Structure 1
């Protein structure tokens, strides 16, 4: 037996394991689809997943074994962004995870009920139908299923609304803490050359970090759970169509992270250019430069910022276009192969419609997870840049507080307001009365 014959025998065995026995009677165009969906794409997915897992383990091992320079963090912040977020929002994160898990069974109902409506409520040959000892005619049964579907989507919407509102509360609360900690560190820094750069840090660079604090655990659990729920629903309808939903995933895992790393490098360059521009403008304000000599450095910074941002836009839109194209390939498999299965009688029309509707929702959490990876890398860079900005500030602030006791008193008061915001109002009232 040749190697090619063994390969074909393997494909037939895998297809039989998925409950689909195809032979020479099957149209020729179905064979390459079966090979791609059941053998080639899973093999590539396993290879890519193994490579990413091994690379992650080696990177973690190297990180632990190799001593690296870590800038001393701002007082009140951890070296890791995850540790800082959990330090100030551990209970809120647990509550958001619980609400996210409650959404999974509700989501499954929103996928299953349309299938039941198409397959059962629209089949007039089954009525009257008995449910819990009571008989229903076709119209009443249709209204009953539609009412359950309406209730399911209402519960799903309320769950998402409540979760998003609470996420906004957590994000703003963490952002206030983070801004106060950065501001306190800046106040205790006697080096005045950093003053001009604190404005973009407090106004712009900390904003994405606050928003990410609400998504650090909730988003991957919610979107990952949504992805697994939809995938499980597809496999229940038909294992071959469920496997088809994962066909383009290995390509996305290989290409998109590499492109995103280039975007991250450009984002780091953009942050440095903005700070450089702020430093130049501050120097010009102090020196009252109004001649052309002061315009040249600013003009060069504007030009470099434009150049960097154009590169970022091109890469981001290319990533989006590539992801949309790869996502659109899967419905092609559903319409062609799934349509053939309906004609063959392997699945029902309602199941195919449900799978198509589910895949429409399947692409959304996948995009959210890729977006989470992008946001994670961007936020991590911002956090590192802000921490690096204050490298050595703690040593300088210790000397400054020894020379200025009032500065130490102000720092202690600002630290107290992190846990007891009402102290700020009392202190302001005392100052006003004095």
Structure 2
């Protein structure tokens, strides 16, 4: 297996990633145009413009929405297909490693690791391959396109919106690092659970050990939930502060005649379009960091299995230290 997660992505789907990237570019370009059409519809209605012109704008808006929806449908199905190819590759690779001669059977730890990879670990790692390149390209493209459009309409209001998102650049990486440490520990404990199941040991001590591992998994999952949802709470709070800034500053500009009501409506829609891709970009970053941890552990397990039979025994000291 390649050393890095990116190398694995390119090994599995380098040509498909180019096609997915092209669809992503089309999607974020198609998603920006409706903002301008919304602004023109609102301004035409408030200024008692021609109804025929409004109807034409509405039809154009519907056409763009349909194009955006169909492109997103194609993109999602394509990315899902690429992800499933990667999952299948990982599972077949783990199964192939288990087909060894009777003279060199796998020990319980190695067999438990393979079981964990096939059942639980391959799915998230392989699934990430489909979105690994297209997701940041798509979401960053939307942020740049919509942000540029908002700056063109009203630079000061756009600056107020941008300030709201700056604190997230600081607290998101810190909280994600804490999640990553717990995910790595969780995978290690899960592998030990699989090892114990493979050994078929049913003594009281073995059952107590498994029960302790289950409790450990529960504690790790709850810790991840607390950090994850606290992060979501803080991000949502920042977004609502952005809406408040638009209402306050936009209302002042409308009252003083410095802007049109359609511009304020465009900013409200624009913030929604920024909030969603920003959240998706944060989710992608979280998935990237977690998947890097998971891929490294799968890669290391694969490397160990390719070693000479009997050359060394798997080192379980890290697992024992974590469980302790």
Structure 2 length-normalised TM = 0.90
Question: What's the counterpart of residue 142 of structure 2?
Answer: 226
Task: Give the Cα–Cα distance (whole angstroms) in 1 for the partners of residues 46 and 57 of structure 2.
Answer: 11
Instruction: Kindly state the Cα deviation for residue 397 of structure 1 after the two structures are TM-superposed.
Output: 5.7
Q: Give the conservation status (yes or no) of the 8 Å contact 2:157–2:250.
A: yes
Question: What's the counterpart of residue 85 of structure 1?
Answer: 9
The one of 206, 211, 214 equivalent to 2:127 is 211
Task: Give the Cα–Cα distance (whole angstroms) in 1 for the partners of residues 307 and 77 of structure 2.
Answer: 40
Question: Is 1:120 aligned with 2:120?
Answer: no
Which string of whole-angstrom CA distances, capped at 9 and with x for unpartnered residues, describes residues 299-358 of structure 1?
211221111111111111111111111121111110001110111111100011111111
Instruction: Kindly state the Cα deviation for residue 183 of structure 1 after the two structures are TM-superposed.
Output: 2.2
Question: What's the counterpart of residue 261 of structure 2?
Answer: 349
Task: Give the Cα–Cα distance (whole angstroms) in 1 for the partners of residues 310 and 191 of structure 2.
Answer: 26
Higher CA-based Rg: 1
Question: What's the counterpart of residue 111 of structure 2?
Answer: 195
Q: How does 1:15-30 map to 2 (within 5 A)?
A: none
Question: What's the counterpart of residue 32 of structure 2?
Answer: 108
Task: Give the Cα–Cα distance (whole angstroms) in 1 for the partners of residues 126 and 115 of structure 2.
Answer: 16
Aligned CA RMSD, in angstroms, stands at: 1.7
Gaps of 5+ in 2: 312-324
Q: How does 1:36-185 map to 2 (within 5 A)?
A: 77-124=1-48, 138-185=50-97
Instruction: Kindly state the Cα deviation for residue 120 of structure 1 after the two structures are TM-superposed.
Output: 2.2
Task: Give the Cα–Cα distance (whole angstroms) in 2 for the partners of residues 175 and 332 of structure 1.
Answer: 44
Question: Is 1:292 aligned with 2:216?
Answer: no
Q: Give the conservation status (yes or no) of the 8 Å contact 2:113–2:301.
A: no
Distance 1:174 1:391, change over 3 A: closer
The one of 272, 281, 285 equivalent to 2:197 is 281
Q: Give the conservation status (yes or no) of the 8 Å contact 2:112–2:196.
A: no
Which string of whole-angstrom CA distances, capped at 9 and with x for unpartnered residues, describes residues 199-247 of structure 1?
2211110101111101111000000001111101111110011111211
Task: Give the Cα–Cα distance (whole angstroms) in 1 for the partners of residues 249 and 94 of structure 2.
Answer: 57
Q: Give the conservation status (yes or no) of the 8 Å contact 2:94–2:118.
A: yes
Question: Is 1:331 aligned with 2:243?
Answer: yes
- Could you say what secondary structure the match of 2:306 adopts? helix
Question: What's the counterpart of residue 250 of structure 1?
Answer: 166
Question: What's the counterpart of residue 382 of structure 1?
Answer: 294
The aligned length equals 307
Gaps of 5+ in 1: 1-76, 127-137, 400-434
Task: Give the Cα–Cα distance (whole angstroms) in 2 for the partners of residues 207 and 86 of structure 1.
Answer: 18
Q: Give the conservation status (yes or no) of the 8 Å contact 2:90–2:118.
A: no
Q: Which has the higher contact order (CA 8 A, sep 6+)?
A: 2
Q: Give the conservation status (yes or no) of the 8 Å contact 1:122–1:142.
A: no
Task: Give the Cα–Cα distance (whole angstroms) in 2 for the partners of residues 174 and 228 of structure 1.
Answer: 30
Distance 1:320 1:110, change over 3 A: same
Structure 1 length-normalised TM = 0.68
Which string of whole-angstrom CA distances, capped at 9 and with x for unpartnered residues, describes residues 46-93 of structure 1?
xxxxxxxxxxxxxxxxxxxxxxxxxxxxxxx21111111112211110
Question: Is 1:367 aligned with 2:279?
Answer: yes
